[in-house]
Amino acid sequence: MFDDVTVTTLTQAGWFPGRSISIDLWVAQLRDEGVEVHAAATAFLTEFGGLSVVYRGPGISRARESFALDPEECVGEGDRFLEWSQDLGRQIVPVGSLSDGRFFLGLDEGSELYSVEAFVKTFGPMPVAMDRLVLGGMPEAVDETVAGR
């Protein structure tokens, strides 16, 4: 499913195959911001939610950076995710942060993982997205003409 380095990195952060945690608190927090958590985000957060990877160093096409798969990192940013979701025609749910909070992470209903800021870039669909995130693969720009920005 994942590259061996990704498995090792995630395992060291507390992940294991079949991991399942309660996400009720996050679902309630996101709902308070007007964000509904779809099935793909539910599955993602149930398996990976709460994991944090602290790393800096060379990657495949960008530096490997710390990330936290915790929607609480995105509290107060619900409107940003709602606006991008509307602009892109995808329901992007906040799932965490990248680079010590410089960027937010979101997941759409097709399990595509995004870096979200004043722009949106995609790491691609899961499980490829997790390898790119962990191994330092450059996310690709989402066509902003589609987004109307």
Whether residue 145 has pLDDT greater than 70: no
Q: Is the pLDDT of residue 57 over 90?
A: no
Q: b or e along 120-130 (b: 16 or more beta carbons within 10 Å of the residue's beta carbon)?
A: bebbbebebbb
Flag whether pLDDT at 27 surpasses 80: yes
143, pLDDT greater than 90: no
The Cα 91–Cα 24 span in angstroms is: 19
DSSP 71: G
CA distance from start to end of the chain? 35
Predicted local distance difference test score (pLDDT) of residue 147: 44
CB 122 within 8 A of CB 139: yes
Name the pLDDT band for 56 (thresholds 50, 70, 90). Answer: confident
CATH class of 4-139: alpha beta
Is pTM beyond 0.85 here?
yes
Under the banding of pLDDT at 50, 70 and 90, the label for residue 53 is: very high
Q: Mean pLDDT in the chain?
A: 93
Give the angle 145-97-55 at the CA atoms, nearest 5°.
120
140: confidence class by pLDDT, cuts 50, 70, 90? very high
